[in-house]
């Protein structure tokens, strides 16, 4: 069976334990699937989004490599499908997606966290949405994966729809498939009518049109027509126009006519705000310590950070556990193991000693003067957060304390202070980012 073949190939791509945990329980719903849509059912509701984010695209790509058809892979909770009308052989529309435009309704400007890394792209997107076809046409948004390009481009779409405009949002792959479909059926006039009679044409991930000459040719004419009519065109890509290979020059130069805005990896503060926003939207409670832990240890890809939060929450729910920092480090260790931060206890002491002007040996001593006690407590706290591999008793030994209860005591004191003393909190955060950034800079130089 084809789907089994797809899963077998997936098995070779991902770690065996992941396959066992997440893919084995999937049930393929043959009745409701078609070559456009593959529907998989998950027994556990909490894992639906996790599996969707992590594996749906992979499954779709493998399927495409076998059949040349790019399907949409839908993951749903098993019991949700009881409500599907038996005569309708399409799966129920995904939550949050309005079928007519395929826009995710939660991708709005309000839900987008703005920081210096994405401020220009955000402002330009908003301006294009509010005054289409004026200043920023085309608007070209580019940057790495998971940094908010699709969110922004769809926010433009959601806003424009709310203002009554006709919006087409499509990925370049869908555009390509649509084009081929109409060529095959000799209905190109319908294709042209569709794409040239909109107020907003939003094409996501335009880089995938690379080397598709015929489709580029057609897109070139669509572009010109819409541009002349002063309709808003918004494109996204992983690279700036000039750097995308396999594109005709007359197209890439047009991409530069309006405004090019990049999205950069978010800084620590922005990352933290994004995590808070996502938790608020999904009704997940994480305390500051856990949020900090995630923001420091996960890479900059927000999509991955989001799925990590969902994963963490799913585990906590399944096991009826509270999400403490210990629980989070334990659950997330598989997700962050590839990250080569490699902070050591000595790194932590070195930075604290330098910044607070205290001798490293004093921090590790039993001296009881106030500044030293404070530096030691901060050290213990940061060691616990930044080097999760160290157990309480290791920390006790390293910091010259009697036993692990002394470490717990120090942690408790610090957590109280962090809650009540804003200045202290800022100081600790600053030390933390000094330690991690010192480490990532020295890591890059290697």
Positions that interact with ligand ADP (CB under 6 A): 107, 111-113, 118, 145-151, 274, 277, 302-303, 306
In 3D space, the residue among 223, 421, 257, 442 whose CA is nearest the CA of residue 343 turns out to be: 442
Least separation in angstroms between residue 107's CB and ligand ADP is: 6
d(CA 256, CA 253): 5
Token pair for 95: 């939550």
Q: Note the helical H segments in 14-138.
A: 16-18, 48-67, 119-130
Burial of 114 (0-12, 13-18, 19+ CB in 10 A): middle
Q: CB-wise, 140 or 399, nearer to ligand ADP?
A: 140
d(CA 234, CA 143): 14
Residue 302 contacts which entry, ligand ADP, Mg ion, none (Cβ below 5-8 A, type-dependent): ligand ADP
Find where tokens 């939060």 sit: 309
Residue 379 contacts which entry, ligand ADP, Mg ion, none (Cβ below 5-8 A, type-dependent): none
Spatial contact of 244 and 252, defined as CB atoms under 8 Å apart: yes
For 113, half-sphere exposure in the C-beta direction (CA atoms, 13 angstrom radius) is 21
Least separation in angstroms between residue 430's CB and ligand ADP is: 23
Q: CB-wise, 34 or 72, nearer to ligand ADP?
A: 72
Give rounded-to-5 percent helix, strand, coil for the chain: 60, 10, 30
Residue 60 contacts which entry, ligand ADP, Mg ion, none (Cβ below 5-8 A, type-dependent): none
Q: CB-wise, 132 or 148, nearer to ligand ADP?
A: 148
Stretch that binds Mg ion, among 118-126, 145-153, 174-182, 321-329 (CB under 5 A): 145-153
In 3D space, the residue among 114, 167, 442, 140 whose CA is nearest the CA of residue 273 turns out to be: 114
Q: CB-wise, 137 or 171, nearer to ligand ADP?
A: 171
Q: CB-wise, 34 or 174, nearer to ligand ADP?
A: 174
Least separation in angstroms between residue 218's CB and ligand ADP is: 24
Q: CB-wise, 45 or 303, nearer to ligand ADP?
A: 303
Residue 146 contacts which entry, Mg ion, ligand ADP, none (Cβ below 5-8 A, type-dependent): ligand ADP
Residue 145 contacts which entry, Mg ion, ligand ADP, none (Cβ below 5-8 A, type-dependent): ligand ADP
Least separation in angstroms between residue 210's CB and ligand ADP is: 17
Bond prior to 138 in cis (omega within 30° of 0): yes
Strand partners, 202: 169, 234
Residue 147 contacts which entry, ligand ADP, Mg ion, none (Cβ below 5-8 A, type-dependent): ligand ADP
The per-residue DSSP string of 381-412 comes to HHHHHH-TTS-HHHHHHHTT-SSHHHHHHHHH
Stretch that binds Mg ion, among 87-95, 141-149, 352-360, 381-389 (CB under 5 A): 141-149
Least separation in angstroms between residue 342's CB and ligand ADP is: 27
Least separation in angstroms between residue 10's CB and Mg ion is: 21
Total residues binding Mg ion (CB under 5 A):
2
Sign (positive or negative) of CA dihedral 157, 161, 167, 170: positive
Q: CB-wise, 147 or 296, nearer to ligand ADP?
A: 147
Query: What letter does residue 265 receive in the DSSP assignment?
Result: P
Burial of 405 (0-12, 13-18, 19+ CB in 10 A): exposed
d(CA 171, CA 175): 6
Least separation in angstroms between residue 147's CB and ligand ADP is: 4
Spatial contact of 273 and 152, defined as CB atoms under 8 Å apart: no
Residue 148 contacts which entry, ligand ADP, Mg ion, none (Cβ below 5-8 A, type-dependent): ligand ADP
In 3D space, the residue among 437, 422, 390 whose CA is nearest the CA of residue 296 turns out to be: 437
Cβ-closest position to ligand ADP = 148
Least separation in angstroms between residue 117's CB and ligand ADP is: 8
Q: CB-wise, 141 or 372, nearer to ligand ADP?
A: 141
Least separation in angstroms between residue 278's CB and ligand ADP is: 7
d(CA 355, CA 427): 10
Least separation in angstroms between residue 200's CB and Mg ion is: 17
* Residue from 150, 154, 385, 436 binding Mg ion (CB under 5 A): 150
Give first-to-last CA distance, the chain, whole Å. 48
Stretch that binds Mg ion, among 95-103, 144-152, 274-282, 376-384 (CB under 5 A): 144-152
Residues that bind Mg ion (CB under 5 A): 149-150
């Amino acid at each position: 069976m084809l789907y089994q073949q797809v899963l077998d190939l997936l098995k070779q791509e991902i770690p065996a334990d992941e396959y066992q945990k997440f893919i084995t329980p999937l049930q393929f719903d043959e009745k409701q699937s078609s070559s456009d849509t593959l529907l998989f059912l998950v027994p556990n509701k909490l894992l639906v989004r996790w599996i969707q984010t992590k594996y749906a695209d992979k499954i779709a790509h493998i399927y495409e490599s076998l059949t040349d058809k790019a399907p949409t892979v839908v993951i749903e909770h098993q019991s949700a499908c009881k409500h599907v009308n038996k005569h309708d052989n399409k799966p129920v529309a995904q939550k949050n997606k309005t079928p007519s435009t395929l826009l995710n309704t939660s991708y709005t400007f309000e839900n987008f966290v703005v920081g210096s890394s994405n401020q220009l792209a955000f402002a330009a997107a908003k301006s294009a949405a509010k005054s289409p076809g004026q200043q920023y046409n085309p608007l070209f948004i580019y940057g790495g994966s998971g940094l908010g390009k699709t969110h922004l481009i769809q926010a433009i779409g959601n806003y424009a729809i709310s203002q009554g405009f006709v919006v087409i949002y499509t990925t370049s792959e869908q555009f390509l498939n649509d084009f081929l479909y109409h060529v095959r059926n000799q209905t190109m006039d319908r294709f042209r009518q569709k794409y040239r009679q909109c107020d907003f044409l939003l094409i996501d991930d335009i880089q995938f049109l690379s080397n598709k000459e015929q489709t580029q040719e057609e897109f070139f004419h669509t572009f010109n027509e819409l541009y002349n009519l002063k309709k808003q065109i918004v494109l996204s890509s992983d690279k700036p126009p000039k750097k995308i290979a396999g594109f005709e020059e007359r197209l890439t130069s047009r991409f530069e006519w309006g405004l090019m805005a990049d999205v950069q990896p978010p800084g620590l503060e922005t990352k933290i705000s994004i995590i808070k926003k996502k938790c608020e939207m999904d009704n997940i409670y994480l305390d500051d310590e856990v949020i900090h832990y995630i923001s420091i240890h996960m890479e900059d890809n927000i999509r991955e950070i989001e799925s990590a939060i969902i994963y963490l929450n799913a585990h906590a729910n399944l096991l009826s556990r509270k999400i403490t920092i210990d629980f989070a480090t334990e659950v997330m260790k598989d997700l962050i193991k590839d990250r080569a931060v490699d902070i050591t206890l000595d790194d932590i002491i070195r930075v604290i000693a330098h910044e607070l002007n205290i001798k490293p040996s004093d921090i590790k001593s039993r001296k009881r003067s106030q500044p030293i006690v404070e530096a030691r407590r901060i050290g213990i706290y940061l060691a616990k957060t930044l080097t999760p591999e160290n157990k309480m008793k290791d920390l006790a030994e390293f910091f010259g304390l009697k036993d692990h209860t002394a470490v717990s005591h120090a942690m408790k004191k610090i957590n109280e202070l962090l809650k009540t003393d804003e200045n202290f909190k800022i100081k600790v955060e600053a030390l933390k980012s000094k330690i991690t950034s010192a480490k990532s800079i020295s890591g890059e130089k290697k």
